[in-house]
Structure 1
Amino acid sequence: MKESNEPALRREADVGTFFGIDPVSVRTEYELLHLMRQLIARYDFAHFMIARLPLADEQRFSERLVLSNWPTELVRQYDASEIFQTSVLVDRVRQTKLPVVGGAELLEPARKGAGKAPVRGHQLHPDMARHFAVLLHTTYGEPFVAMLSGTRNEPVGAERATLYLTLVQLFECLERTFDAGTATREKLSMREIECLRWAAAGKSSDEIAIILGISAYTVSSYFKSATRKLDAVNRMQAIARAMRMKLI
Structure 2
Amino acid sequence: MKDSNEPASRREAEANMPFEIDPASVRTEYELLHLMRRLISRYGFAHFMIARLPLADEQRFSERLVLSNWPAELVQQYDAGETFQTSELVERLRQTKLPVTGGPELMEPAGKGAGKAAFIRLPPHAGMGHFAVLLHTTYGEPFVAVLSGTRDEPAGAERATLYLALLQLFECLERTFDAGSGAREKLSSREVECLRWAAAGKSSDEIAIILGISAYTVSSYFKSATRKLDAVNRMQAIARAMRMKLI
Both proteins in one fold, TM over 0.5: yes
User: 1:166 is aligned with what amino acid?
Assistant: A
Preserved contact between residue 46 and residue 127 of structure 1 (Cα < 8 Å) = no
Alignment partner, residue 35 of structure 1? 35
User: CA offset at residue 209 of structure 1?
Assistant: 4.2
Q: Secondary structure at the match of 1:196?
A: helix
- What is the CA distance between 1:51 and its match in structure 2? 0.8
Compute the displacement of 1:126 (Å). Answer: 6.0
Q: CA separation in 2, counterparts of 1:240 and 1:117?
A: 28
Pairing 1:4–2:23 present? no
Q: CA deviation at 1:217?
A: 4.6
Aligned equivalents of 2:213 and 2:15: distance in 1?
58
Match of 2:90 in 1: 90
Corresponding position of 2:242: 243
Name the counterpart of 1:195: 194
Q: Deviations over 1:55-109 (max 9, x none)?
A: 3323221121111111222112111111111111111111110000000001111
| 2:109–2:117 Cα contact (<8 Å) kept | no
CA displacement 1:36-61 (0-9 Å, x = unmatched):
11111111111111111123323221
Contact 1:104 1:129 (8 Å CA) reproduced = yes
Aligned counterpart, 1:118: 119
TM-score by length of 1: 0.86
1:136 counterpart letter in structure 2: L
**Gap change, CA 1:164 and 1:233, over 3 Å in 2:** closer
Query: Does residue 63 of structure 1 match 2:72?
Result: no
The Cα shift of 1:189 comes to: 1.1
How far, CA to CA, are the matches of 2:126 and 2:108 in structure 1? 16
- Distance in 2, matches of 1:4 and 1:117, equals 38
TM-score by length of 2: 0.86
Give the AA of the match of 2:167: V
TM alignment of 1:22-171, pairs within 5 A: 22-111=22-111, 112-113=113-114, 118-121=119-122, 124-125=123-124, 129-171=128-170
> Is the CA contact 2:104–2:126 (under 8 Å) kept in the aligned structure 1?
no
Distance in 1 (CA, whole Å) between partners of 2:165 and 2:199 is 32
CA distance in 1, matches of 2:217, 2:154: 52
Query: Structure 2 vs 1, CA of residues 116 and 98 (structure 1 numbering), >3 Å: closer, same or farther?
Result: closer
Bigger CA drift: 221-230 or 29-38? 221-230
Structure 2: gaps spanning 5 or more residues? 1-7
What is the CA-CA distance between 1:232 and the residue it aligns to? 2.8
Paired residues of 1:93 and 1:134 also in contact (CA < 8 A): yes
- Indicate the larger mover: 22-31 or 111-120: 111-120
Percent of aligned pairs with the same amino acid: 78
- Residues 52/126 of structure 1: CA separation in 2 closer, same or farther (3 Å cut): closer
